[in-house]
Amino acid sequence: MSQRKRAAKNQRPKVIPIRLDATFFFERAVQSLDRYHYDKALKYFRRAVEYEPENPVNHCNMAGILSEMGRYEESNVILRSVLDQIDPAMTECYYYLANNYANMELFEAAEDALVRYLENDVEGQFLEESDELLDLLNYELNRPTKLATIKAKENIYAHDKARELLEAGRFAEAVKMLEEIIARKPDFLAARNNLGLAYYYMGLFEKSVATISEVLATEPGNLHALCNLAIFYQHSNQRELLDSLVRKLNKTVPFHPEHVFKMATTLGIVGQHREAYRHFHRLLRTGELIDEPSLHHFAAIASVNLQRYEEARKHWQQAERMDPQSPVPPYFLKRLDLVRQGTESPPTHYHYHLPFEEQFKRWENSPAQVTEALKGDPLIRSSFFWALRHGDRRTKVQVIQALGLVADEEVIEALKSFLIDPDEEDELKRVAVLVLRSIGMQDALTVMFSGRTITLEARRKSARLPVWDSAWQTVLEHALEGMSGRYDVVQQHDMMTLWVDYLSRVYPEVPKLHKSTGWAAALEYWTAKMHRRTVTYADLVNRYGVSQASISRYANRIDEACGIREKLDLTRPSFH
């Protein structure tokens, strides 16, 4: 072959072959749709279906074109074949069917298809359009549509319920529900935020921080997560981390009223009263949330801490006018002059309820009133759980005893969680164990004492005590003090269980406990005998400062009610 021929051959244009597949015909169909050439688009979608008959999207595209062309019955045949034969999980087909039936004025069939869509579709792609179609069907059928649930909104409904549980102080239930929501929808950040709060209220600090950190990893500017984290740092005394976070918050200017309110209360809680004051007054100036008495209360708290006493007075007076049944505004108005004179410190807690000391003072002689408040007022209930974790020692003792009056599942879970918190005092845990036993909780209990986890074995069930009297607590404290260093935790627990058992058996005819140390010595006496420990009356007289006759008398009373000597004789014949 000549050189010229070879050159000509090399210069021939290259032919690129067309690859005829589903993608090729899909693209041609879309181009035809853009030009409103429906016939051509339908032809190309049919070819795409021929190449990929198992792909439900191609079938739905073909059904969509037929619907656009007014060929609703043909469209429905294809949609039903997708649901029956190709992909039953493609629930949006029910929405397409509902639209076709509505256009055919078959409103009953449209309603059935729409209900199937709403009750089965998880993603909720056509929720807004479904609302409009529901309105049309309600009008045409002259009745509301019966819906068991809207699947796509289940997580939203569940989240709302979890928030109610959280506000009611039912933290364990809220945690369970929020964990289930996140398992179904990991990107539901609001649920993850509230889960972090619930963990925190339950004292699970590390889990709460980890959960909030997950939110911030996805959305670094999430205001609720940042505010929650600031409160966590405040109560765990992580000052350096808190200061850094507060600087970040102070550079943030929220616009939504709820975000402004969240920012203001958070800054107040962490001691940034000036910035909190600024945000509260933003809300008051704009008229947002102005009908909330709590907003005026919080603005008053911030004002007092900035020595704006007259402003504080006006805010509390306004809160009193708006909420005349609440004891909160009048209480703080009475204290205002004392703060102004410097004889009392300004209030720093941003909660719309009385301080715990005042609440307990009012309820001191009325257990029924405590029970009613804890069961009937979610805010008070929530504040009690908060104080269980963050109050001072005296407050925690009062809270533990008060929670025993309610004794529902949430209280039991909260106290059991308290028992394994390494940061709580052993003495407080002993009070919690005693209250759990006194309310009839006789299952085995896991407790962390002095950094060591132990299991207190289950006890036989005894009658539940309706109250826990301070005189009974005094006996217990004397016994624990006398036994300290001589008996292990399990033996001390057995002593506590014996005391609860005795009180349960003789209640309501509990004798006057004039000599609490004598009763305490009697409890140690029987505890030693049950554990085959050597103890003499002389030891007890010396340590408790009571006579042998008193110890013997009280020991006999306990034995008469509980039958200890008989049980020991049955189980240990050699004991004398």
Residue ranges per domain, the chain?
A: 22-151, 154-341, 467-576
Q: What is the pLDDT of residue 575?
A: 29
Q: What is the pLDDT of residue 292?
A: 85
Q: What is the pLDDT of residue 428?
A: 86
Evaluate whether 22-151 and 154-341 have a shared fold: yes
Q: What is the pLDDT of residue 312?
A: 94
408 three-state secondary structure: coil
CATH C-level class of 154-341: mainly alpha
Q: What is the pLDDT of residue 148?
A: 66
Sign of the Cα torsion 326, 330, 336, 339 reads: negative
Per DSSP, what are the bridge partners of residue 454? 447
As to burial, measured by CB atoms within 10 angstroms (0-12 exposed, 13-18 middle, 19+ buried), residue 332 is buried
Q: In angstroms, rounded to a whole number, what is the distance separating the alpha carbons of residues 435 and 303?
A: 41
In CATH, 22-151 is 1.25.40.10: yes
Residue 428, CA distances (Å) to 397, 401, 450 in order: 7, 11, 12
Is the whole model's pTM more than 0.75, yes or no?
no
Listed residue (521, 532, 540, 522) closest to 571, CA to CA: 532
Q: In angstroms, rounded to a whole number, what is the distance separating the alpha carbons of residues 196 and 225?
A: 9
- Helix 189-201 vs helix 154-167: crossing angle, to nearest 10: 20
Q: What is the pLDDT of residue 322?
A: 93
Q: Residue 493 corresponds to which tokens in the numbers above?
A: 């627990």
Q: What is the pLDDT of residue 182?
A: 92
Residue labelled with tokens 């600087």: 247
Listed residue (442, 557, 459) closest to 511, CA to CA: 557
Q: What is the pLDDT of residue 166?
A: 83
Q: In angstroms, rounded to a whole number, what is the distance separating the alpha carbons of residues 396 and 385?
A: 10
CB 351 within 8 A of CB 326: no
Q: Which fold does the domain 467-576 belong to in CATH? A: Cyclin A; domain 1 (1.10.472)
Q: Residue 353 corresponds to which tokens in the numbers above?
A: 């309820």
Q: Residue 405 corresponds to which tokens in the numbers above?
A: 């009056």
Q: Residue 411 corresponds to which tokens in the numbers above?
A: 């209280």
pLDDT digits (tens, 9 = 90+) for 222-250: 899 999 999 888 877 889 999 999 999 98
Q: Which residues in the chain come in under a pLDDT of 70?
A: 1-22, 25-26, 29, 32-37, 123, 148-149, 151-152, 203, 288-289, 363-368, 376-379, 459-468, 489, 569-576
Per DSSP, what are the bridge partners of residue 452? 449
